[in-house]
Amino acid sequence: MKHGQMKNILNTIALDLNPSGSTPYFGAIFYGATSTTNTVVPFPVDSAATFKTKLDYKQYTTAQVSQSTLTMALAAVDSSCRSYCRSFTPRVTVVFSDAFDSSEDTAIRQLENNLGMTVIVVGVGHSINASVLNQLASYPPH
């Protein structure tokens, strides 16, 4: 998936989740291209317009040898939520990736169990491993 397409998808999600009269919090963390995660939109941003403005500043980054991981990005989500999430408000993290690893299951379950977070995983691209994606997306088991 192209960088510009991902930004458009994130903007559309923010607009759809920010109807008049509501104040959800948004944030965006990119991982994988560099050795550290990149907090593109620091959590909490409380409007889709501000989210879009900050996201528009993000430029494409070519991949480095030592890359950050989903586990690192989820740790940043955990830290931000512990500081800024509001009580008794639904908490949702959406992860878009072209390469999931089953070892990331632990970090996802910790967010779900420790913070009451709903984690939605979305596989993009041709190299996605459907069985790993299904494992991450099928919690709790039915």
Residue 39 forms beta bridges with which residues? 29
Map out the domains of the chain as residue ranges. 3-137
Query: 47, 12, 56: which is closest to 26 by C-alpha?
Result: 47
> Which CATH fold would you assign to the domain 3-137?
Rossmann fold (3.40.50)
How many CB atoms are located within 10 Å of the residue 75 CB? 16
- Whole-number Å distance between alpha carbons of 139 and 108: 10
Enumerate long-range contacts of 46-51, CB under 8 Å, 24 or more apart.
Answer: 47/18, 47/23, 48/11, 48/14, 48/15, 48/17, 48/18, 51/10, 51/11, 51/14, 51/26
Mean pLDDT taken over the chain: 80
Per residue in 85-115, pLDDT tens? 888 888 888 888 777 777 788 888 888 888 8
> Is residue 20 very low, low, confident or very high in pLDDT (cuts 50, 70, 90)?
confident
Q: Which residue has the higher pLDDT, 25 or 137?
A: 25
Residue 80 pLDDT exceeds 70: yes
pTM, entire model: 0.77
- Whole-number Å distance between alpha carbons of 48 and 61: 24
The owner of tokens 């299904």 is 134
- Whole-number Å distance between alpha carbons of 112 and 53: 29
pLDDT at position 142 is 39
